[in-house]
Structure 1
Amino acid sequence: MIKSIFNKIFNIREEATLERPKSFSQTDLSKPINTVVPQKPADERCDSSVSVDLEALFYSLLFPARTKDSGGVANNLERRVMAEIEQALASPQLIAEKVLKLPSKVLELDRKLADPQFDTKDLLALIEQDPLLSVEVLKLCNSPAFKRGEREVTSLQQALVQLGREQLRRFVTSSLVREMLDIKPIYFRRFGAEIWRHSMQVAFLASELSEEDRDTAFLLGLLHDVGKLAIFKMLLDAFVQAEPGEQPNSWLFRQVMTAKSLTLSALLAKHWQLPSTFETELDKLAHVHTRPNEGIAAVVWRANVISEISMLQQASKLPADMLSNLLALVGLEQAQFDELHEKLQQF
């Protein structure tokens, strides 16, 4: 029963309603450009040194370094969390039920949004029962990245008229998934904010880059980093027992965070009974030294790298020589990236 409902939620086959932004109007990013380097076979290793460097830099956005990088030596805090990660990989159901639970309201609301016969007034009343959800949906409607026209959207009725049911479904789902980022300690809110911003960027880019099934690409991009959120919440719990001043600052922990989080994302997708496509594509992404060469995983991989480049560039943390290598890796010219970068800063 639950699985069939989720199949309806995520296996959307109608045409996507997200309007292509003006900044993408001159170049169709879903098609390769002349400067794209030939793609490697799926089983061939990508440039792992560039990939590792990028992840290490991106990690610095999530956890501002306060102490010297300890390299391959993990401290007590990190060892405790890494042990919990291994337990989570062995029993993902515990993480899905206690640490990172998918909001149950997704089921009821999406079922109503997907039914064109469902009365519009009843639909809006259902969303309005959750004031926080209503506020989050309106904030998304009026955000620079998604706003259409000069008029501000001030009601859910107006949002439904302007966006249509399919786009409203995306916004409602995004707002509900965001509930999983409920992070209390003020110092660590930066992690939640940056991960959510990154997830929204990847979702948006994946839907733009995908040649087919843009809705699934959007949602896979949105959920690809849920494993990082789960690990981060484990880290918060571990801080209660940590020594004063102890921070996650080793290269080893960064590697574990990167590789294991994607595996955990795939396992969570399976436990949440999402369509098997999600687990399959996330599992492809979990092989961090291999670039997926086809399917939605390849689209999300490219979207993920572009988002990381953009966020690091905005923070002035990306060396110029590394930028050129990364742009070649994702098949973008500098002018194309500049257009994307300007758009992504609005998230």
Structure 2
Amino acid sequence: MRRTSEETGKRGPSMSTGTAERTKQVVDRALSKVGEIATLPEVTIRIIEIVEDPKSTARDLHEVIKNDPALSVKVLKVVNSAFYGLPGQVASVDRAIILLGLSAVKNIAIAASIARLFKGKRVSEHFSASDLWRHSVGVAVAARAIAKCSPHPGMTDEIFVAGLIHDIGMLVARQAYPDEFAQAIEAHLANGGDYLACEREHIGADHQAFGVGLTTKWKFPRHLRAAVGFHHNPEVLSVEFQNMATLIQMADILCCQEQIGFYLTARHSALTPEMFERLGVTEAQIAEIRESLEEQVLDAESVLTT
């Protein structure tokens, strides 16, 4: 799947037509192989459709969630966790929808569905799906915390989901091309340099491209696809997509610096003045987030994984 010119305002290093076409072929082949990963649960797809439909009501969302008892339990567990900090216990999904809104409950349901994808055998001594899950939870937690500090409106609602799925393309690459995926990791560890370049050299596409392909297949909103597809280079995006992608970039770097889960992708990256300026956050705020990050990740993991 090509990342559209609507999303990219400026291109940075150019990708030739031939290279773009080869990347698309590699991604399309991978998506045809990955089976379970490429298919969201039917209930999650229905929830996304309901929330994206302006004619839908809270009752519509409640009806879908209540018919999946396991999902209902997990949604209420998340809502009642310290993560949301609501006063008193929320005993029903319809009450959760009233308190948090359609979009927030949609994102909780998506988050509850995502954990099941992070499984499978280890293809490298330096990578496991559980390590990637821990990193993804870390980025989700950090991104949400950063978004709360940012003066930009409307940035906290879907940022947690964006963090959870930002590296979802790695699961596609690992399942579709396990040997090449392992080679990319080993090459990066042996030679250093850019992790994404190692992926492109050994697999034929990087995890951002696989992630865009998968989230497009899932029919996720464009701003989520942009965050997944450009969290290592948000500067090439058009302005409307830059903030969320930069949030994920900053959270990703923070988690890699703290070695939370699988941390190789951005271990050599640094938080830059441009990131702070774009998001309107301070170094002191990031230092405070860093201080409590490990504990918050453990809390979020326990809620989402069980």
Which TM bucket (shorter chain)?
Answer: 0.5 to 0.7
**1-side partners of 2:231 and 2:255: how far apart?**
20
Gap change, CA 1:91 and 1:234, over 3 Å in 2? closer
In structure 1, which of residues 131, 134, 147 is the aligned counterpart of residue 72 of structure 2?
134
From 9, 29, 34, the counterpart of 1:91: 29
Match of 1:168 in 2: 105
Do the aligned partners of residues 138 and 184 (structure 1) sit closer, same or farther apart at CA in structure 2, a change above 3 Å counting?
A: farther
Percent pairwise identity: 18
Please state how far the C-alpha of 1:94 moved relative to its aligned partner.
Answer: 0.7
Q: In the aligned structure 1, how far is the partner of 2:115 from the partner of 2:140?
A: 10
What one-letter code is carried by the residue in structure 2 that aligns with 1:177? I
Q: Is the 8 A contact 1:210 1:299 kept in 2?
A: no
Give the structure 2 partner of residue 261 of structure 1.
Answer: 207
1:250 and 2:187 are equivalent in the alignment: yes
What is the CA distance between 1:204 and its match in structure 2? 2.4
Q: Hey, what does 1:177 align to over in structure 2?
A: 114
Whichever of the two has the greater Rg, that structure is 1
Q: What is the 5 A alignment of 1:24-43?
A: none
Q: Kindly tell me: are residues 140 and 344 of structure 1, through their superposed partners in 2, closer, same or farther at Cα, counting changes over 3 Å?
A: farther
Q: Which amino acid in 2 is paired with 1:169?
A: K
Alignment match, 2:16: none
Once the two structures are superposed, residues 123-150 of structure 1 have per-residue CA deviations (whole angstroms, 9 ceiling, x without a partner) of 545323323322321232133332223x
Is 1:145 the counterpart of 2:83 in the alignment? Answer: yes
Work out which of the residue numbers 185, 196, 216 in structure 2 matches 1:270: 216
Match of 1:336 in 2: 285
Determine if contact 1:199/1:222 at 8 Å carries over to the other structure.
yes
Paired with 2:272 and 2:36, the residues of 1 have a C-alpha distance of: 39
Shift of 1:43: 5.9
Structure of greater relative contact order (alpha carbons < 8 Å, 6+ residues apart)? 1
For the Cα contact (< 8 Å) 1:134–1:156, is it kept in 2? yes
Please, which of 228, 232, 235 is the counterpart of residue 170 of structure 2? 228
State the shift of 1:298 in Å. 4.4
Q: Do the aligned residues in 2 keep the contact of 1:42 with 1:293 (CA within 8 Å)?
A: yes
After superposition, the C-alpha distances for 1:244-275 in whole angstroms (9 at most, x for unaligned) are xx995331694434870001112223333445
Cα separation, 2, equivalents of 1:118 and 1:334: 41
Give the drift of 1:335: 1.5
Going from structure 1 to structure 2, the CA distance change for 1:277 and 1:306 (only over 3 Å counts) comes to closer
- CA-based RMSD of the aligned residues comes to 4.5
Structure 1 position 197, deviation (Å): 0.6
Gaps of 5+ in 2: 1-8, 14-22, 298-306
Paired residue type of 1:335? A
The residue number in structure 2 matching 1:191 is 131
Cα distance in 2 for partners of 1:329, 1:101 equals 37
Q: TM-score, normalised by structure 1?
A: 0.55
Structure 1 segments, 4+ long, off by >6 Å, are none
Per-residue CA deviation, residues 212-231 of structure 1 (Å, 9 max, x unaligned), is 55356555444332212212
Q: Could you say which residue in structure 1 is the equivalent of 2:251?
A: 306
TM superposition score normalised by structure 2: 0.61
Partners of 1:254 and 1:341 lie apart in 2 by 24
Number of matched residues? 255
- Does the 8 A contact of 1:206 with 1:303 survive in 2? no
Residue 211 of structure 1: aligned partner: 152
Contact 1:285–1:297 (CA<8 Å) still a contact in 2? no
Aligned with 2:141 (options 186, 195, 201): 201
| Residue among 30, 47, 52 paired with 1:109 | 47
The DSSP-based 3-state class of the residue aligned with 1:299 is helix
1:175 CA drift (Å)? 1.6
Consecutive unaligned residues of structure 1, counting only runs of 5 or more, are 1-40, 46-84
Q: Is residue 105–residue 176 contact of structure 1 (8 Å, CA) maintained in 2? A: no
